[in-house]
Amino acid sequence: MVNLKINNIPVAVEEGTTILDAARKLNFRIPTLCYHPDLSIAGNCRVCVVEVKGARLLAAACATPVADGMEVMTNSEKVRSARKHVVELLLSEHNADCTKCIKNGKCELQELASEYRIGDHVFLDLVKEECKIADISSPAIAKDDSKCIRCQRCVRTCSELQNVNALAVIAKGDHQHIGTFLDKPMHEVVCTNCGQCINRCPTAALSERTYIDQVWDAINDPEKHVVVQTAPAVRIALGEELGFDPGVRVTGKMVAALRNLGFNSVLDTDFTADLTIMEEGTELLTRLKLALVDKKEDVALPMFTSCSPGWIKYIEHMYPTLLNNLSTCKSPQQMFGSLAKTYYPQKKGIDPKNIYSVSIMPCTAKKFECERPEMRDSGYQDVDVVLTTRELAMMIKQAGIDFMKLEDQKCDSLMGDSTGAAVIFGATGGVMEAAIRTAYEIVTGREIPFENLNITPVRGMEGVKEASLKIEGCVPDWSFLEGAELKVAIAHGLANAKILMDAVRDGKAAYHFIEVMACPGGCLGGGGQPIPTSLEIRQKRTEAIYAEDEGMPVRKSHENPEITQIYEEFLGKPLGHKSHELLHTHYKKRERY
């Protein structure tokens, strides 16, 4: 242990601990801007400077390890003056139109300016006029260089967590900025639209494209019948924006709030998550039969999940030779969109052209996905608008709804019922677990042999997980799988996906099924979720997801009565003609540069 004093208070910490973490142990908060717990240390903003006795210069607390006998002052006059000047310098290059900014009230730079009572600008305003033109070429992400403080959190996020490197530090001196390859617009580069950079940006230099006004217009249009779907990860995070602690489930209140906002029908993406399991599980079993019984050599195995649009765009750019390994299933959002403009209006007696389909997602990449040309099989754009969890919270606030006092309500029937298997889609490993629950029972006629259906080997926050399951006692139709060992893998975060994809490409991965989610922790850590994000917060959301699953009366997708109904009345059977027409698609190769 290392013994030191911080503000004259003794403390003992592990060797290698930074001054920043040592101070937190004593409940001293040192301000930061470039530091983020998910990322490597940069130490370039200098807001966290502290005074170390005997040192000539102030030290960056986030990057300085403690030493035995060290005496640190975190709030001396010298420290306060230095921090105030650093903030003033940052503001001199920052477009401070705070009242119009999407991050107003949630901007870390604004918070520090308030804390240090920054009034009139001490330094010249150096914001260049050309920087004030935001890049809104992407349907998912807006990039505003006039708000950038060059903390480089976004660069480290894109490199370390996602291994995409769509953003980089360009040039030096007063020309330095965060840009893309050849400073191309965001929609022309390898950006996967995952939004992880947004979740870690301290200002509004990066933010989601917002479509709240379009949704209000649709709600107020008497000709429109507005349906809304909500992803499983929204219900365990929305409360963070509206007064609840992380990990509190607000499913019933969310449904009540959506009705109060004026949506004509409040439905659930979980319904089509269950439908995804029926289609994707059948597709996997069909591929296994083609490979093992029919001995076809061109069967694309392992099969990859296709629920995450950030992952889809990543593989289109980075591993186009493996595109055939993707499941042909659309994501639950897009399956819902197709049915919302075919099956739903048919049952309700509504003209499909009057259906306006809104999706509430934890994910910014869903905004890109809904505008893909492949997503129009209903004869219309299947999903009209995607809002993030944050945007839904904003609408609730705009409407003056006291969210905490709302009584719980349930989703409407018809595309509103779901199972626990659908809920766990929101966590890494959840799609895999839901698929195994159903596929194993189809093949053997028995429940999966795990206590309370909890397939723990595929759960957890490890970047890459592997599991295997021996199949015994098959029903006659699936006897060819008798004694087979199903091998699966799970990755979350695209840097981890790269590890698996390299192994598959190089012939070193003997898996049958691989789940990939673009975001750390899965959808619950998506780019549209409440800010801040950290491993601790994602762990609490994960616990909430599994608690929601265990509280559901039905926990296997194939036992959802509404799924049975839609196959009987509309789709026919999994992988049938109608399903292929509406619920399946293919993707395309994209250039890297």
What's the Rg (C-alpha) of the chain?
Answer: 25
How far is it, in rounded angstroms, from Cα 219 to Cα 262?
6
Mean of pLDDT values over 355-374: 98
Tokens 């030096």 belong to 172
Q: Most confidently modeled of 129-133, 382-386, 508-512?
A: 382-386
> Can you give the pLDDT at residue 288?
95
> Can you give the pLDDT at residue 186?
96
Give the DSSP letter of residue 18.
Answer: B
Mean of pLDDT values over 258-281: 98
CB neighbourhood size of 322 (10 A): 15
CB neighbourhood size of 159 (10 A): 18
> Can you give the pLDDT at residue 140?
98
Please give the structure tokens belonging to residue 237.
């995070």
Per annotation, catalytic residue among 34, 62, 151, 307:
307
Residue 154 annotated to the active site: no
> Can you give the pLDDT at residue 380?
98
Please give the structure tokens belonging to residue 538.
């994602």
How far is it, in rounded angstroms, from Cα 234 to Cα 423?
10
Q: Which residue has the higher pLDDT, 341 or 116?
A: 341
Residue 369 annotated to the active site: yes
Residue 174 pLDDT greater than 90, yes or no: no
Residue 197 annotated to the active site: no
Please give the structure tokens belonging to residue 483.
């004694």
- pLDDT band at residue 348 under the 50/70/90 scheme: very high
CB 45 within 8 A of CB 86: yes
CB 37 within 8 A of CB 18: no
Residue 121 pLDDT greater than 80, yes or no: no
How far is it, in rounded angstroms, from Cα 315 to Cα 317?
5
Phi/psi at 208 (nearest 5 deg)?
A: -75, 145
pLDDT by residue (tens digit) across 8-27? Answer: 999 999 999 999 999 999 99
Backbone φ/ψ region at 138: left (φ over 0), alpha (ψ -120 to 50), beta: beta
Residue 210 pLDDT greater than 90, yes or no: yes
- pLDDT band at residue 131 under the 50/70/90 scheme: confident
- pLDDT band at residue 104 under the 50/70/90 scheme: very high
How far is it, in rounded angstroms, from Cα 398 to Cα 420?
32
Per annotation, catalytic residue among 240, 279, 316, 369:
369
Is residue 366 exposed (0-12), middle (13-18) or buried (19+ Cβ within 10 Å)? Answer: buried
Mean of pLDDT values over 226-251: 98
Mean of pLDDT values over 208-225: 98
Phi/psi at 386 (nearest 5 deg)?
A: -115, 130
Per DSSP, the three-state class of 68 is: coil
Per annotation, catalytic residue among 143, 330, 366, 367:
366
Residue 130 pLDDT greater than 80, yes or no: no
Mean of pLDDT values over 318-335: 98
How far is it, in rounded angstroms, from Cα 235 to Cα 117?
37
How far is it, in rounded angstroms, from Cα 509 to Cα 156?
29
Per annotation, catalytic residue among 138, 327, 331, 378:
327
How far is it, in rounded angstroms, from Cα 495 to Cα 543?
24
Please give the structure tokens belonging to residue 159.
């490199």
The vertex-282 CA angle with 281 and 285, nearest 5°, equals 90
Pairing of strands 2-6, 9-13: antiparallel
DSSP for 443-454, written as a single string: HHSS--SSGGG-
Residue 83 pLDDT greater than 80, yes or no: yes
Mean of pLDDT values over 518-529: 98
Mean of pLDDT values over 223-228: 98
Per DSSP, the three-state class of 456 is: helix
Pairing of strands 485-492, 464-470: antiparallel
Residue 122 pLDDT greater than 90, yes or no: no
How far is it, in rounded angstroms, from Cα 382 to Cα 378?
6
Per annotation, catalytic residue among 14, 15, 115, 374:
374
Element (H, E) at 573: none
> Can you give the pLDDT at residue 123?
79
How far is it, in rounded angstroms, from Cα 554 to Cα 447?
13
Residue 593 pLDDT greater than 80, yes or no: no
CB 367 within 8 A of CB 139: yes
Share of the chain above pLDDT 70, in %: 100
> Can you give the pLDDT at residue 426?
98
Task: Give the total residue count for the chain.
Answer: 593
Mean of pLDDT values over 4-9: 98
First to last CA, the chain: 49
Per annotation, catalytic residue among 523, 540, 557, 562:
523
Residue 45 annotated to the active site: no
- pLDDT band at residue 115 under the 50/70/90 scheme: very high
Residue 280 annotated to the active site: yes
Alpha carbon separation from 136 to 309, 312, 357, 390, 420 (Å, rounded) = 19, 21, 23, 19, 38
- H helix intervals, 412-534: 420-423, 430-444, 494-505
pLDDT by residue (tens digit) across 481-500? Answer: 999 999 999 999 999 999 99
Please give the structure tokens belonging to residue 287.
């591929």
Edge-to-edge strand list for the sheet holding 385-388: 265-266, 225-230, 355-361, 385-388
Dihedral sign computed on CA atoms, order 31, 388, 393, 415: negative
Per annotation, catalytic residue among 283, 391, 433, 562:
283
Residue 134 pLDDT greater than 90, yes or no: yes
Share of the chain above pLDDT 90, in %: 95
Phi/psi at 124 (nearest 5 deg)?
A: -60, 150
Residue 126 pLDDT greater than 90, yes or no: no
Per annotation, catalytic residue among 280, 515, 548, 562:
280
Across the chain, mean pLDDT equals 96
Residue 283 annotated to the active site: yes
Give the DSSP letter of residue 124.
Answer: -
Please give the structure tokens belonging to residue 152.
């480089």
> Can you give the pLDDT at residue 86?
96
pLDDT by residue (tens digit) across 20-52? Answer: 999 999 999 999 999 999 999 999 999 999 999
Q: Tell me the residue type at 260.
A: N
> Can you give the pLDDT at residue 511?
96
List of residues 6+ apart from 187 with CB closer than 8 A = 137, 138, 139
pLDDT by residue (tens digit) across 50-63? Answer: 999 999 999 999 99
Residue 115 annotated to the active site: no
pTM exceeds cut of 0.85: yes
> Can you give the pLDDT at residue 132?
83
Pairing of strands 355-361, 225-230: parallel
How far is it, in rounded angstroms, from Cα 415 to Cα 340?
9
Residue 240 pLDDT greater than 80, yes or no: yes
Residue 138 pLDDT greater than 80, yes or no: yes
How far is it, in rounded angstroms, from Cα 30 to Cα 115?
12
Please give the structure tokens belonging to residue 3.
């013994």
> Can you give the pLDDT at residue 128?
80
pLDDT by residue (tens digit) across 444-484? Answer: 999 999 999 999 999 999 999 999 999 999 999 999 999 99
All structural domains of the chain, each given as residue ranges with its CATH number in brackets, are 2-89 (3.10.20.740), 133-209 (3.30.70.20), 212-270+334-405 (3.40.50.1780), 277-329+419-533+544-583 (3.40.950.10)
How far is it, in rounded angstroms, from Cα 39 to Cα 515?
24
Phi/psi at 227 (nearest 5 deg)?
A: -105, 150
Please give the structure tokens belonging to residue 472.
């015994």
Residue 369 pLDDT greater than 90, yes or no: yes
pLDDT by residue (tens digit) across 244-262? Answer: 999 999 999 999 999 999 9
How far is it, in rounded angstroms, from Cα 434 to Cα 419?
10
Q: Tell me the residue type at 165.
A: N
